[in-house]
Amino acid sequence: MEFETLLYEVSDGVATITINRPDAANAMDPQMALDLSQVGILCDDDPAVRAVLITGAGRMFCAGGDLGTFAEAGMARKSIIKKMAGDLHMGLSRLARGNAPVIAAVNGTAAGAGMSLVMACDLAVAAESAVFTMAYTRAGLVPDGSSTFFMPRRIGDRRARELMLTNRVLKADEARDWGIVNEVVADDRVLERAQTLARELAAGPTLAFGAVKTLLNGTFDQSLESQMELEARAIAELSVSADGEEGITAFVEKRKPEFRGE
């Protein structure tokens, strides 16, 4: 399937989504939000997709929302932004609640909606030259793209407030130290490293990965006892799945398991 603002392909169990507006700094416009909504459904519904990788074409990951589009819309921007945010959030919801782990390969600047997108991913690998900034309030706006949900959970409330209120710019090493990304590698290795990680995850127990995502995403919404009950139900259910049976059997037989994502 082809999209106006994204490149999409599936290979070896990995769906690669490339933000493809390099001449516009990969800024997010209404069409990109719609494309992300549609690609989120594709990833969620295709059993061949067992990991998702998101990166940007050119020198930037995503420079945020396309403010030029908003300016041209005049006061009609209110309705445009509601539609755009709805599409974006639908896509992010599908990726977050799907079984496939989502990895960001941050090849350059991640600002505004671009940084929100990184925060929504399960794992992130950044190029040494990458920088991160929220930038929303600099334009008199408020963060969207799930960042007010994921950022406090990933890095804590104080740091989330600092980034959102001061628009502090973090270099890649600082982003790693803050827990925004997992790894920092040379610029020419970022996609390769993220692809390796994605392929490793795509060969893993996909249903178990999905259960891990669900448990972690709800951690702050449950009491201790409720969270432990959810853990108990999830591990019991997975123990009788095909991959659970394979994992247990392989352990007993002292061999490497061969997971099928079932």
Q: Which position among 29, 87, 144, 243 bears the catalytic label?
A: 144
Q: For tokens 């930037």, what's the residue?
A: 60
Q: What are the strands of the beta sheet with 131-133, ordered from one edge? A: 110-111, 131-133, 170-171
- Could you tell me which residues come within 8 angstroms of residue 84 by beta carbon, excluding any fewer than 6 positions away? 28, 29, 30, 33
Instruction: Check if the beta carbon of residue 111 is closer than 8 Å to that of residue 163.
Output: no
- Buried/exposed code over 171-183 (b: 16+ C-beta within 10 A; e: otherwise): ebeebbebebbbe
Annotate 52-101 with DSSP letters as a single string.
EEEEESTT-SB--B-HHHHHHHGGGHHHHHHHHHHHHHHHHHHHHHSSS-
Please indicate whether residue 144 is annotated as part of the active site.
yes
Q: Which position among 29, 35, 44, 89 bears the catalytic label?
A: 89
Determine how many CB atoms are found less than 10 A away from the CB of residue 200: 12
Instruction: Check if the beta carbon of residue 107 is closer than 8 Å to that of residue 187.
Output: yes
Please indicate whether residue 89 is annotated as part of the active site.
yes
Q: For tokens 């994921």, what's the residue?
A: 150
Q: How far apart are CA 8 and CA 177, in angstroms?
A: 31
Determine how many CB atoms are found less than 10 A away from the CB of residue 141: 15
The residues that are catalytic are: 89, 144
